[in-house]
Structure 1
Amino acid sequence: MVAACPFPANHGSPASIREMSEALVRQGHEVHIVTYPIKEDIPVDARVDIHRVHVPFLRNCGVKVGPSYEKFLFDPLMVIKLVWTIWKYKIDVIHAHNYEGALVGWLAKLFTGRPMLYNAVNSMADELPTYNFIKPKRFAVWLGEFLDNVVPRTGDFVTVVSDSLKTFLLGKKVPESRVVVVPAGVNLDMFDQGSGERVREKHGLQGRPLVVYTGTLEQFQRIDYLLQAMRDVVREMPEACLLLVGNIPHKANQALYTDMAASLGIGQSVRFIDSVSLDELPDYLAAADVTVVPRPECPGHPVKLLNYMAAGRPVVSFEGGAKGLHHMYNGYLVNDHDTAAFGEGVVALLRDPELAASLGRHARSTITGHFDWDTLTQGIVLIYWMMLEKRYDAAAHSELARYLHTDYLLRFVERDLPLSEGHTGSRVDRRQSSDRIGFAERRQVTFVGAEPLPQLNVKKSDGPAAEDPPIAGVSKVKARTC
Structure 2
Amino acid sequence: MRIALVLAGPYPDFRGSQVLVQQLADGIRGRGHVVHLVTYGAVAGTRPGPHATRIARDVVLVARLWRTVQREAIDLIHAHNYEAAIASLMVGRVTNRPVVYHGHNALAEELPLYFRARLARRLAHRLGRLLDAHVPRRADFCIAVTEELGEILRRRGVAASDLTCIAPAAAPRDAAAHRPRVGQEVVGVAMAAAANDPGERGGSRAAGWLLAPPSCGDQLPARVPRAAPRRSSLRLPLSLPGSFASLTMATPTDSSDGLVCYAGNLDGYQNLGFLLRSFARVRARVPAARLVLVTHAAPGALRRAVGPGVEIVRAKSYDEVRARLDAADVVVSPRAERSGFPMKLLNYMAAGKAIVASAGSAKGLRDGITGRIVPDGDEGAFAAAVVELLSDRAARARLGAAARRAVEDPRAWDGVLARIEAVYRNVLAARGAASATSETHASTGLPMALPE
Give TM-score, length-normalised by structure 2.
Answer: 0.74
Aligned to 2:265: 216
Q: Indicate if the aligned counterparts of 1:186 and 1:307 stay in contact, CA closer than 8 A.
A: no
For residue 23 of structure 1, the aligned residue among 12, 21, 27 is 27
Aligned to 2:147: 163
Correspondence 1:239-254 to 2 at 5 A? 239-254=288-303
Deviation at residue 292 of structure 1 after TM alignment: 0.6
State the secondary structure of the residue aligned to 1:81: helix
Q: Indicate if the aligned counterparts of 1:243 and 1:270 stay in contact, CA closer than 8 A.
A: yes
Aligned to 1:308: 348
Deviation at residue 129 of structure 1 after TM alignment: 1.8
Q: Indicate if the aligned counterparts of 1:117 and 1:155 stay in contact, CA closer than 8 A.
A: yes
Deviation at residue 370 of structure 1 after TM alignment: 6.7
Correspondence 1:3-152 to 2 at 5 A? 3-39=7-43, 61-132=44-115, 136-152=120-136
The one-letter code sitting in structure 2 at the alignment partner of 1:115 is P
Greater CA drift, 154-163 or 176-185: 176-185
Runs of at least 5 residues in structure 2 that lack an aligned partner in the other structure: 181-185, 189-254, 432-452
The one-letter code sitting in structure 2 at the alignment partner of 1:144 is G
Deviation at residue 168 of structure 1 after TM alignment: 1.3
Question: Hey, what's the Cα distance between the residues in 2 that align with 1:22 and 1:280?
Answer: 24
1:225 aligns with 2:266: no
Deviation at residue 63 of structure 1 after TM alignment: 3.3
Question: Hey, what's the Cα distance between the residues in 2 that align with 1:24 and 1:281?
Answer: 27
Question: Hey, what's the Cα distance between the residues in 2 that align with 1:344 and 1:304?
Answer: 22
Deviation at residue 26 of structure 1 after TM alignment: 2.0
Deviation at residue 32 of structure 1 after TM alignment: 0.4
State the secondary structure of the residue aligned to 2:341: coil
Deviation at residue 191 of structure 1 after TM alignment: 4.4
Deviation at residue 127 of structure 1 after TM alignment: 1.4
Aligned to 2:216: none
Aligned to 1:236: 285
Aligned to 1:462: none
Q: Indicate if the aligned counterparts of 1:38 and 1:63 stay in contact, CA closer than 8 A.
A: no
What RMSD in Å do the two structures reach over aligned CA positions?
A: 2.2
State the secondary structure of the residue aligned to 1:388: helix
Question: Hey, what's the Cα distance between the residues in 1 that align with 2:326 and 2:348?
Answer: 9
Correspondence 1:313-328 to 2 at 5 A? 313-328=353-368
Structure 1 residues 314 and 296: CA distance shift in structure 2, 3 A: same
- Aligned residue pair count: 352
Give TM-score, length-normalised by structure 1.
Answer: 0.69
For residue 323 of structure 2, the aligned residue among 260, 283, 301 is 283
Aligned to 1:57: none
Question: Hey, what's the Cα distance between the residues in 1 that align with 2:416 and 2:105?
Answer: 19
Any idea what the Cα deviations from partners look like across 1:153-191, whole Å, max 9, x if unmatched?
121111111111111112223111221111123445374
Runs of at least 5 residues in structure 1 that lack an aligned partner in the other structure: 40-60, 197-205, 262-266, 392-482
For residue 173 of structure 1, the aligned residue among 149, 157, 168 is 157
State the secondary structure of the residue aligned to 1:296: coil
Q: Indicate if the aligned counterparts of 1:247 and 1:275 stay in contact, CA closer than 8 A.
A: yes
Question: Hey, what's the Cα distance between the residues in 2 that align with 1:25 and 1:277?
Answer: 25
Correspondence 1:384-395 to 2 at 5 A? 384-390=424-430
Question: Hey, what's the Cα distance between the residues in 2 that align with 1:286 and 1:152?
Answer: 39
Q: Indicate if the aligned counterparts of 1:183 and 1:371 stay in contact, CA closer than 8 A.
A: no
Deviation at residue 371 of structure 1 after TM alignment: 8.0
For residue 376 of structure 1, the aligned residue among 388, 395, 416 is 416
Correspondence 1:468-479 to 2 at 5 A? none
Q: Indicate if the aligned counterparts of 1:16 and 1:185 stay in contact, CA closer than 8 A.
A: no
Structure 1 residues 279 and 374: CA distance shift in structure 2, 3 A: farther
Q: Indicate if the aligned counterparts of 1:160 and 1:181 stay in contact, CA closer than 8 A.
A: yes
The one-letter code sitting in structure 2 at the alignment partner of 1:138 is R
Question: Hey, what's the Cα distance between the residues in 2 that align with 1:380 and 1:115?
Answer: 14
